[in-house]
Amino acid sequence: MDAFFVSVERILDPSLEGKPVIVGGDPHGRGVVAACSYEARRFGLHSAMPIRNAFRLCPQGIYLHGHGKEYGRFSRAVKRLLERYFPIVQQASIDEFYLDFTGCEKIYGEPAKFAEKLQNEIWDRFHLPSSIGIASNKTIAKIASDFKKPRGITFVPPGGEKDFLAPLPIEKIPGIGKATFPMLRSRGFSVVGDIAKASPDYLSALLGKFGTELWEKANGKGNDILVTEHERKSISKETTFDKDIISRTKIEEILFELVSKACQLLRNENWQTSTISIKLRYTDFVTLTRAKTIEPTDDDKVVFEVAKDLFEKSFTRRVGIRLIGIHLSKLNHYTEQCILFEDNDTIRKRMLRAVMKIRDKYGFDAIRIGKSETGSN
């Protein structure tokens, strides 16, 4: 999907059409750009850049906090449409999908022709622009989908992968980031063809396992297996403060809120967590992480007590805090068992699931679990 968050915002507010729109929150805060319109990109803006930098480059832009629930709603609608046509659909992110066209030619005709039909249907139904890449594997298809944005269609025929990739800048290959890019450029790699011609042993010595993978990608090789179900490995919630905080009580209140939201996600997925971690970043950017493994739980009270203890052991400096986060891992499926006699734990588990259902229907703020429930007051 092209500039997906911005596209949804324009559906919600048509007056944003044609204007430089930036989704990411307060332009004077510490957040980053989540998405920006193509009008904003002309000023040098891009996703993941600090939002303060974006404001310096484009002070006339329209800065929005965004509507996360709406993004999810439109994403699910697009996926349902795709699943009508394709036997296998892999959702890679909220705005990106891989589709297996194998065997569909007899039904839909040539892939490029059908891609145009699909693109038009997504636009007609949802007023969402999209770009489509067609290739023999996921890596090439992803690169091709970015080739002619917005609303582009790029078909890379089988056997033409290397020729398609050769003139492209090396940063077009997924996985080449801020650390790898300057390292490769300093060694004379500027286009993908340079990597394809290099010795795989040299790249392996330079970048380890990723070097071998990079050589394969540059030579047009890639995975063509779509994965339709992912086991979620962790849940994280964190917040960066607009102003550094030194009040222990205030930080614990925010940590309590993050724990509540993370545990809500646990129960939505029918998970329990065994490892609880906190992340703490001081004013001077010194970052600490602390973790503890316990018996599996999805209870806000239990998780917060552990997180609070980890925080108290970590908050040892007379310096303000700029970021706090909670991370839940070692997730296991929760299985509710039939119990003849209810004890307090059983009653509490049912209460928490009732809270989950109310929040799912009416929003997270519809019902609150008091902080005194955690034993902190």
Q: What is the CATH number of the domain that holds 251?
A: 3.30.1490.100
Pairwise CA distance, residues 203 & 212, whole Å: 6
**Are both 287 and 342 inside the same structural domain?**
yes
Supply the pLDDT for residue 366. 62
As a whole number, the mean pLDDT across the chain is: 87
**Are both 266 and 212 inside the same structural domain?**
no
**Are both 104 and 224 inside the same structural domain?**
yes
Within-domain flag for 80: no
Supply the pLDDT for residue 338. 40
Supply the pLDDT for residue 340. 39
Give yes or no for a cis peptide into 150 (omega within 30° of 0): yes
**Are both 201 and 262 inside the same structural domain?**
no
Backbone angles phi, psi at 194, to 5 degrees: -65, -40
Among 230, 251, 286, give the residue marking a domain's end: 230
**Are both 172 and 305 inside the same structural domain?**
no
Specify the number of domains making up the chain.
3
**Are both 51 and 98 inside the same structural domain?**
no
Burial 350-361, CB ≥16 within 10 A → b, else e: eebeebbeebee
Within-domain flag for 72: no
Among 186, 202, 230, give the residue marking a domain's end: 230
Supply the pLDDT for residue 224. 82
Check if the beta carbon of residue 333 is closer than 8 Å to that of residue 315.
no
Among 230, 246, 274, give the residue marking a domain's end: 230
% of the chain surpassing 70 pLDDT = 88
The token duo for 307 is 């997180």
| Mean pLDDT confidence for 277-287 | 90
Number of neighbours of residue 175 by Cβ within 10 angstroms: 12
**Are both 283 and 352 inside the same structural domain?**
yes
Check if the beta carbon of residue 327 is closer than 8 Å to that of residue 236.
yes
Within-domain flag for 105: yes
Check if the beta carbon of residue 298 is closer than 8 Å to that of residue 263.
yes
Domain CATH for 56: 3.40.1170.60
User: Closest Cα to residue 166, out of 138, 194, 135, 139?
Assistant: 194
**Are both 322 and 245 inside the same structural domain?**
yes
Supply the pLDDT for residue 373. 46
User: Closest Cα to residue 63, out of 75, 81, 49, 78?
Assistant: 49
Within-domain flag for 74: no
Pairwise CA distance, residues 264 & 352, whole Å: 9
Supply the pLDDT for residue 372. 44
Pairwise CA distance, residues 350 & 352, whole Å: 5
The token duo for 14 is 């048509």
| Lowest model confidence (mean pLDDT) among 196-200, 209-213, 239-243 | 239-243
Domain CATH for 108: 1.10.150.20
Pairwise CA distance, residues 248 & 255, whole Å: 10
Number of neighbours of residue 189 by Cβ within 10 angstroms: 23
**Are both 138 and 204 inside the same structural domain?**
yes
| Annotation says 96 is catalytic | yes
Within-domain flag for 279: yes
Pairwise CA distance, residues 223 & 213, whole Å: 11
Supply the pLDDT for residue 203. 93
Q: Domain containing 292: what range? A: 234-374
Which tens digits make up the pLDDT trace of 33-72? Answer: 999 999 999 999 998 899 999 999 999 999 998 898 899 8
**Are both 262 and 368 inside the same structural domain?**
yes
Within-domain flag for 75: no
| Biggest alpha carbon–alpha carbon distance for the chain | 72
Pairing of strands 62-64, 21-23: parallel
**Are both 254 and 287 inside the same structural domain?**
yes
The answer to whether residue 230 scores a pLDDT higher than 60 is no
Within-domain flag for 312: yes
- Of the candidates 9, 70, 83, 96, the residue annotated as catalytic is 96
> Helices 344-362 and 248-268: crossing angle, nearest 10°?
90
Within-domain flag for 135: yes
pLDDT band at 376 (very low <50, low <70, confident <90, very high): very low
**Are both 259 and 340 inside the same structural domain?**
yes
